[in-house]
Amino acid sequence: MSTAGTQAPLTSPPATVRIIASPQSWVEGEAVRQLEAVARLPGMRHAVGLPDLHPGKGAPVGAAFTSEGILYPYLVGSDIGCGMGLWDVGMLARKAKAERWAAKLDVEGTWSGDAEGFLAEEGVKASGFEAALGTVGGGNHFAEVQRVDAVHDAEGFAALGLAADRLLLLVHSGSRGLGEAILRAHVDRHAAGGLLEDSDDARAYLTRHDHAVAWARANRALVARRVLDGIGAPARRVLDVCHNSVTPRRDAGGTRWLHRKGAAPSDEGPVVIPGSRGALSYLVVPLGDGTGSAYSLAHGAGRKWTRTAARERMKERFTAESLTRTPFKSHVVCENKDLLFEEAPPAYKPIDRVVTDLVEAGLVRVVATLAPVLTYKTRSREE
């Protein structure tokens, strides 16, 4: 990778590398190699792999990096602003009608409402990608109606205004085509190179990046509204956190650039760490000062198999129809059969091990576990 905005290369001492995972957790060797490669980039200070660490496209997912004097858009990736939002649904869990909702819920296509007006309510400017606003997207994105499985920290749970007998809604989505366009514009000019923090190119990228982060948050809010309209329930947003971003952290030592790629923040309050669609999600409270983990946590279970491997293996063992139900008796809406196989629960690491690693590292306290009721992926037969 090269640097943009200067004639001379940026040099620095080697970055520290840390992987937060117990011996019981499997971390693919290629993910470790990618983490170490990123640590050798100019200006890099820290490279931290979380328990969900797995290989990505040139850089690992489930990782956080801090640099000095330079930032790397390529580490953030194309889905700038991707994250998780949690809503407290005004409906008792015992009144859930998962089978009926699975048959009729549809969050595909352009929203019929006033997209620019909705963005204005959220304090976000239009981007030109409003046709995709309020859509989940492909890959591992989802909208999931959940019930409370167990409360482990009653005080922390009550502090969030939650009730054990009410439904919740978890939305995982990002900036759709907007983030991809921003990264493509960068790559067209700089390939995988970094940007010096005081350069015009860095300032221009950060302006577009911050817009995409805000747009992605609004997108999750509109996905939630469409799902809630579909099930006929009101809701209150409890939290919304981003796990693909680059942000400045300023202290007495100066400014460092914190890159998160599939890494939830540990400095913004409670977060939800979801498992696969056939596993529990964990509502957790971050602990400690965050310095040893680059102020980050695992953002999910992390893939164990590539999409191609998952597709091949799962087609040998299951029918598509069997994968639309889970051990929790929840329903899965995913009419793209390839995606259904790619996102099957065995393709992911065990979420309980990922969270246990975080607990044992002193990074989180579990507040509650949440079980799936209805997981919405897509009505489209094509990604």
Q: Which domains can be identified in the chain, with CATH numbers?
A: 30-378 (3.90.1860.10)
* pLDDT of 17 strictly over 50: yes
141 among the known binding-site residues?
Answer: yes
Residue 14 has pLDDT above 90, yes or no: no
Is 336 annotated as belonging to a binding site? no
Buried b vs exposed e over 174-201: b needs ≥16 C-beta within 10 Å?
Answer: bbbbbbbbbbeebeeebeebbbbbebeb
Res. 309 pLDDT band, cuts 50 70 90: very high
190 is in an annotated binding site: no
On the question of pLDDT at 355 being above 90, the answer is: yes
In this prediction, what percent of the chain has a pLDDT beyond 90?
94
Q: Tell me if 362 is assigned to a ligand binding site.
A: no
Residue 101 to residue 22: CA distance in whole angstroms: 40
Structure token pair of residue 223: 């996905």
Alpha-carbon gap, residue 56 to 186, rounded angstroms: 19
On whether the CB atoms of residues 300 and 140 are closer than 8 A, the answer is: yes
Residue 8: pLDDT band (50, 70, 90) is very low
Q: Is residue 131 helix, strand or coil?
A: helix
- pLDDT score, position 381: 73
Phi–psi pair at 223, nearest 5 degrees = -60, -45
377 labeled part of a ligand binding site: yes
Q: What average pLDDT score do residues 321-350 get?
A: 96
What pLDDT is recorded for position 4? 52
Query: In this model, does residue 2 exceed pLDDT 60?
Result: no
Q: Does the annotation list 302 as a binding residue?
A: yes
DSSP per residue over 17-67, as a string? EEE---TTS---HHHHHHHHHHHTSTTEEEEEEEEEEE--SSS-EEEEEEE
Whether the pLDDT of residue 3 is over 70: the answer is no
Q: How far apart are CA 38 and CA 44, in angstroms?
A: 8
pLDDT score of 260 more than 60: yes
Residue 9 pLDDT? 46
pTM over 0.85: yes
In angstroms, how far is the first alpha carbon of the chain from the final one?
31
The predicted-structure confidence for 19-46, as pLDDT tens digits, reads as follows 999 999 999 999 999 999 999 999 999 9
Contact between residue 168 and residue 148 where contact means Cβ atoms under 8 Å apart: yes
Task: Identify the pLDDT of residue 6.
Answer: 37
Whether residue 54 lies in the annotated active site? no
Q: What is the mean pLDDT of the chain?
A: 95
Question: Among 115, 220, 238, which Cα is nearest to 212's?
Answer: 220
SS3 content of the chain, % helix, strand, coil (to 5): 30, 30, 35
- What does residue 55 show for φ and ψ, rounded to 5 degrees? -65, 145
Residues in the chain: 383
Q: Which of 46, 259, 299, 331 is catalytic?
A: 299
318 marked among binding-site residues: no
With a cut of 60, say whether residue 100 has pLDDT above it. Answer: yes
Average pLDDT over residues 57-61: 95
CA dihedral 105, 372, 84, 16 (to 10 degrees): -150
Query: Is the model's pLDDT at 12 over the cut of 90?
Result: no
Per-residue CA distances from 310 to 170, 210, 343, 346 (Å): 24, 34, 8, 8
| 140 labeled part of a ligand binding site | yes
The verdict on whether residue 118 carries a ligand-binding annotation is no
Judge residue 292's burial from the number of C-beta atoms within 10 Å of its C-beta, 0-12 exposed, 13-18 middle, 19 or more buried.
middle
**What pLDDT is stored for residue 253 in this prediction?**
80
Whole-number Å distance between alpha carbons of 165 and 162: 9
Q: 167 Cβ partners below 8 Å, 6+ apart?
A: 89, 91, 92, 93, 96, 145, 146, 147, 233, 373
pLDDT at position 39 is: 97
Query: 248 in helix, strand or coil?
Result: strand
pLDDT class of 7 with cuts at 50, 70, 90: very low
How many Å apart are CA 27 and CA 62, to the nearest integer? 11
pLDDT over threshold 60, residue 10: no
Per-residue pLDDT, 104: 96
Q: What angle do CA 81, 87, 291 make, to 5 degrees?
A: 50
Short-list 194, 171, 315, CA closest to 242 = 171
Distance of CA 335 to the CA centre of its chain: 22
Q: Hey, how many other C-beta atoms are within 10 angstroms of the C-beta on 203?
A: 12
